Amino acid sequence: MSATVRPSRWILAIIAIGLTLPVQPSAQGATGLRAVAATAARDLRDWDTQITRMVRDGQVRSRGEDADLLVAGRTHERLDQYYQGVRVFGGELVRQADEGQTVSVFGALYTGVGLDVDPTLSPADVADIIEEMTGVALGAERAPELVVLPRDEGGYVLAYRARVMASTDLTVYFIDAGDGDVVMKYSDLQTTIGTGTGVQNDTKKVSTTLRSGTYLAIDAMRPPAIYTYDLKGNLTRTQLYLNGLVTLNDSDVASDADNQWADQAAVDAHACAGWTYDYFYKRFGRLGLDNRNLTMSSIVHPVRREDWASASSSTLSLYYLNAFYAGHGIMVYGEGLPPGAIVGGLQWNYFSGALDVVAHELTHGVTDYSSGLIYRNESGALNEAFSDIMGTAVEFYFQQTGAGYLKADYLLGEDLTSPQSAFRSMANPQAYDDPDHYSKRYLGSADNGGVHSNSGIANHAFYLAVEGGVNRTSGLSVQGVGSANRDKIEKVFYRGFTQFLPANATFALARAATLQAARDLYGAGSDVERAIQQAWTAVGVN
Amino acid sequence: MTITSAIVRRVIVAGVLASVAGLLELPAGAQTSTTRQTERPQPPLAPKVAAPPPGAAPKAADPQSPTPKTTAPKPPVAKKPLPPRTSKVWKGRGFMVVSGGAQVAAPSYTSTVVFKLYAEDATLNASSEVQIGPVFGARGGMRVWKNLAIGAAFGVSSTSQRVDVTGRLPHPFMFNQFREVKGTASGLDRFETMFAIEASWLIAVRRRVDMFLFAGPAYINVRQDMATRIQFTESYPYDTVSFTGVESSRVSGGAVGITAGADVAYLVSKGLGLGGQLRYSYASATLRPADQPATVGLGGLQLSVSARILF
């Protein structure tokens, strides 16, 4: 017989090869997703008919109808897909109508669902599983919902869906209704990081939250919620809020459409508040203002810049050219002046634009929830000094040491004005007419007994303990610990001022408290104790 | 039943079918192309003079004619040892081989993907090793000259990859403050398909064993998962991260390379040989995970059992 290959031989061989090919599961398996996008009149008529039939058959259920806020007369109805009475997760139709006439139908419907929808587990069983897994107990209103879950790899599974808010994340779990396994989960925490331009035209990251398509200045990534409100120049509303007569809501929160923020005041207030929280946490382990993660709220644009010329002097000094801590975790940042406007020979920018100012105000909150230093006379000066010290410490923590804008130094508020100036100097208080020695303290009644002036005494003590040097008044020399060890002096002052001082503390008590803190932290006779002792002595506090 | 066991079962079925094909189609007594000459019966050692027809008178001796030669029987020749079963010249028409086995080695590769995280560029460096996985193939050819055949080959492999990942992830709150992360991910799939034009040379090794050496250009196509993003967990203050895995996307591509190997078979019947095959293939393709180029080595070393049909 010839060796001619007959067709049957080839066929068998091909079958043989075919049978050896690897078996791969289909990407979609039996799951079918039918996308719907109907806008033509004929299609819409068909879909209206289909929807009517599907509603009658229980395949879809209307979730409700909303009026269109942008196009008058339009309504939008959402219909969820159901299979034997169980919602099909993700299956949905959206019907737009104009005066009752359907204009469009969009949606996605799953086909080929074939499941026994009788679950083995009850919602309570699943809640127990979730609690065991996450430690979070679900309330009655958060009971797991039975759904048909289309699986990424194809097919469907009967599962319970539950949204669980844990300490660091909001997670949606899908638990198999038969065996309790987690079949899918994802984070539902819609926090985002955007970028923004600060007051000095620098670029910062801002932690925001996406709600209804708009980015809000709500930082949900840090343990406390941090809000930045834009009061849009409504001073009346600002004051009502500060007095607890109105509450602010999402519409008051600073917002941005694309998360590329251009509101410089809001960017700096929001970012710097977060950084200040970070500093207190990382340096001292403190959980926010009250050490219990109190919500922090910053208010920007309490007034309108263009109204500055007609503002009263008190409004100008408080809401334009100042920043203050209003209690309850609320900070208000002055609006500054419009470009070209000059007060005191200076142009003034948004007050949230200086990191040391933001940290200063927030530190008032720390004091409020710790020593509670009474804001008058010596205790008031110590209150101010502690805010200056922490404000400067935060600046050194996040910025490069140097002179100029956005540099860390011992000046307060130097980033706010043009030409560059400052409110106070810790290195040389006398340069801003503040005392650098106890003997030169202000004893009058203005400014609550000179709280913003006499703070210079403690400020200078902090500076000398770090950097060393000679007090200009006493001539006494201090051997500082050096800038590389600045954190040690920061910890001493933090410990002394938040842990030891009473509300009506004096400078002498501040000396004793910080010396005790130095001994606690670094030992008696340590370089730190010596520096603290020499510094207070140099500024005349014994 | 697992996919692997299903595949093994199908290989067995395929082998049986191939055997049946060979048994059904090859004529009884037919020799495989490599044995046709060697097993041909030796010619008889009889005189070549034709016998007179029955009844014919013997011719008288013609003195004019030369004396008719009578062929004297030659002395018996010592029996030579059998020649190799395969002669130097293969006279069959062609062959076909199906094979199944494992991809035992494959080129590792590295890839780098930059992705956006917290408004900055995060970097993922992946060093991928292809794991052992099943391969299946078929090759065939037609003899064109002596023992040389020209033909084609087709092969598929299904493997997975182990990926060692290092990465730099930006801090959520600060620019230019990166967190280092490292970890290992597995279970990333890889499917390769190879088409080759091959020249094959048949060599007799033993009496019932022969071997094809083959080589040629190959087009190797790959469809595989590649890491595109690092999955991690983090918590405040976000100064460190913990690696949990990678996100991947399925990318595909192909390139022309080379393939070469050897296929040894033991002839269990006249038309069917069973044996093993060793094949090495290589090509270098540029794939684009997350739309960023990565050079990936394809192919590798494959060991298979094979069934060969000679015709």
Residue of B nearest to A186 (CA): B231
Tell me if residue A379 falls in helix, strand or coil.
helix
CB contact under 8 A, A3 and B93: yes
How far, in Å, CA of A355 to CA of A400, rounded?
A: 12
A69 DSSP assignment: S
Number of helices followed by number of strands (H, E) in chain A? 12, 25
CA distances from residue A231 to A235, A265, A303, A329, B121 in whole angstroms, order as listed: 8, 12, 8, 17, 34
A453 — phi, psi (to 5°)? Answer: -105, -55
My answer on whether omega of the bond before B76 falls inside 30° of 0, hence cis, is no
* Structure tokens, B38: 């060697």
Which residue, A359, A493, A356, is CA-closest to A416? A356
Q: Measured between CA atoms, how close is A483 to chain B, in angstroms? A: 22
Residue of A nearest to B96 (CA): A13
How far, in Å, CA of B262 to CA of B303, rounded?
A: 10
Which helix (H) or strand (E) covers residue A99, if one does?
A: none
CB contact under 8 A, B24 and A24: no
Which residue, B252, B272, B163, B161, is CA-closest to B208? B272
How far, in Å, CA of A443 to CA of A437, rounded?
A: 13
* Structure tokens, A412: 């307060």
How far, in Å, CA of A54 to CA of B105, rounded?
A: 55
Contacts of B311 in chain A (CB under 8 A): 3, 5, 9
CA distances from residue A428 to A18, A423, A462, A477 in whole angstroms, order as listed: 88, 12, 12, 14
How far, in Å, CA of A316 to CA of A282, rounded?
A: 36
Identity of residue A106: F
How far, in Å, CA of A357 to CA of A362, rounded?
A: 9
Q: Does B82 touch chain A (CB under 8 A)?
A: no
How far, in Å, CA of A166 to CA of A343, rounded?
A: 50
Fold of A191-369: Elastase; domain 1 (3.10.170)
How far, in Å, CA of B239 to CA of A273, rounded?
A: 18
Q: Does B193 touch chain A (CB under 8 A)?
A: no
pLDDT at A369: 94
Residue of A nearest to B33 (CA): A3
* Structure tokens, B177: 């403050």
Which of B:247-306 have CB within 8 Å of A? none
Fold of B3-27+86-310: Porin (2.40.160)
User: Which stretches does DSSP call E strand in chain B?
Assistant: 94-105, 109-117, 120-130, 133-145, 148-170, 178-204, 209-233, 242-267, 272-287, 294-310
Judged on CB neighbours under 10 Å (0-12, 13-18, 19+), B169 is buried
How far, in Å, CA of A237 to CA of A231, rounded?
A: 7
B291 CB contacts (<8 Å, ≥6 apart)? none
Q: Shortest CB distance from A207 goes to which of B7, B173, B235? A: B173
CB contact under 8 A, B175 and A203: yes
* Structure tokens, A468: 């060393």
A335 — phi, psi (to 5°)? Answer: -85, -15
For chain B, the farthest-separated pair of C-alpha atoms sits apart, in whole angstroms, at 129
CB contact under 8 A, B136 and A274: no
Which residue, A266, A273, A269, A205, is CA-closest to B120? A205
Contacts of B138 in chain A (CB under 8 A): 13, 17, 20
Domain locations in chain A?
Answer: 32-111, 123-187, 191-369, 377-542
How far, in Å, CA of A423 to CA of A431, rounded?
A: 10
Q: Does domain A32-111 have CATH number 3.40.50?
A: no
Q: Does B10 touch chain A (CB under 8 A)?
A: yes
Contacts of B175 in chain A (CB under 8 A): 203-205
> Is A364 tagged catalytic?
no
Which residue, B84, B90, B40, B139, is CA-closest to A3? B90
CB contact under 8 A, A194 and B13: no
B54 DSSP assignment: T
A121 DSSP assignment: S
Please state, as a whole number, how many other Cβ atoms lie within 10 Å of the Cβ of residue A118: 11
Domain locations in chain B?
Answer: 3-27+86-310
> Is A328 tagged catalytic?
no
Q: Are the folds of A32-111 and A123-187 the same? A: yes
How far, in Å, CA of B141 to CA of A7, rounded?
A: 16
Give the HSE-up count for residue A244: Cα atoms under 13 Å, Cβ half-sphere: 4
Q: Do strands A203-211 and A411-412 pair parallel, antiparallel, or not at all (unpaired)?
A: unpaired
CA distances from residue A431 to A421, A427, A435, A473 in whole angstroms, order as listed: 11, 9, 9, 13
If you classify domain A377-542 with CATH, what class do you get? mainly alpha
CB contact under 8 A, B309 and A278: no
Point out the catalytic residue in the list A270, A301, A360, A452: A452
CB contact under 8 A, A17 and B93: no
Which helix (H) or strand (E) covers residue A353, if one does?
A: none
* Structure tokens, A260: 């590329």
Identity of residue B275: G
Give me the CATH code for the A123-187 domain, please: 3.10.450
> What are the b/e assignments for A334-355, b being 16+ CB within 10 Å?
bbbbeeeeeeeebbbbbbbbbb
Rg (alpha carbons) of chain A, rounded to whole number: 33
Q: What is the pLDDT along chain A (542 residues), one digit of tens a residue?
A: 333 334 444 443 443 333 333 333 333 334 588 888 888 999 999 999 999 999 999 999 998 887 776 678 888 898 999 999 999 998 999 899 998 899 999 988 999 898 899 999 999 999 999 888 877 778 777 789 999 999 877 889 999 999 886 644 567 899 999 999 999 887 666 668 899 999 999 999 999 998 878 899 999 999 999 999 999 999 999 999 999 899 998 899 999 999 999 999 999 999 999 999 999 999 999 999 999 999 999 999 999 999 999 999 999 999 999 999 999 999 999 999 999 999 999 999 999 999 999 999 999 999 999 999 999 999 999 999 999 999 999 999 999 999 999 999 999 999 999 999 999 999 999 999 999 999 999 999 999 999 999 999 999 999 999 999 999 999 999 999 999 999 999 999 999 999 999 999 999 999 999 999 999 999 999 999 999 999 999 999 99
Residue of B nearest to A187 (CA): B233
Q: Shortest CB distance from B7 goes to which of A15, A23, A223? A: A23
Tokens 């913003």 belong to A452
Q: Shortest CB distance from A16 goes to which of B17, B94, B237? A: B17
Which residue, A331, A437, A449, is CA-closest to A383? A449
How far, in Å, CA of B95 to CA of A34, rounded?
A: 48
Identity of residue A336: G
Tokens 């690696």 belong to B243
A283 and A216 Cβ atoms separated by less than 8 Å: no
pLDDT at A141: 72
Please state, as a whole number, how many other Cβ atoms lie within 10 Å of the Cβ of residue A264: 21
Which residues in chain B land under pLDDT 70?
A: 1-89
B266 and B275 Cβ atoms separated by less than 8 Å: yes
* Structure tokens, A471: 């007090």
CA distances from residue A483 to A50, A279, A464, A532 in whole angstroms, order as listed: 75, 17, 11, 14
How far, in Å, CA of A283 to CA of A515, rounded?
A: 19
Which residue, A405, A415, A395, is CA-closest to A483? A395
My answer on whether omega of the bond before A119 falls inside 30° of 0, hence cis, is no
Judged on CB neighbours under 10 Å (0-12, 13-18, 19+), A94 is middle
Point out the catalytic residue in the list A92, A335, A361, A490: A361
Contacts of A284 in chain B (CB under 8 A): none
CB contact under 8 A, A205 and B172: yes
Residue of B nearest to A10 (CA): B21
Tell me if residue B143 falls in helix, strand or coil.
strand
CB contact under 8 A, A20 and B136: yes
A288 and A273 Cβ atoms separated by less than 8 Å: no
How far, in Å, CA of A209 to CA of A250, rounded?
A: 11
What angle in degrees, to the nearest 10, is found between the helix axes of A264-284 and A377-398? 100
Contacts of A3 in chain B (CB under 8 A): 30, 33, 92-93, 311
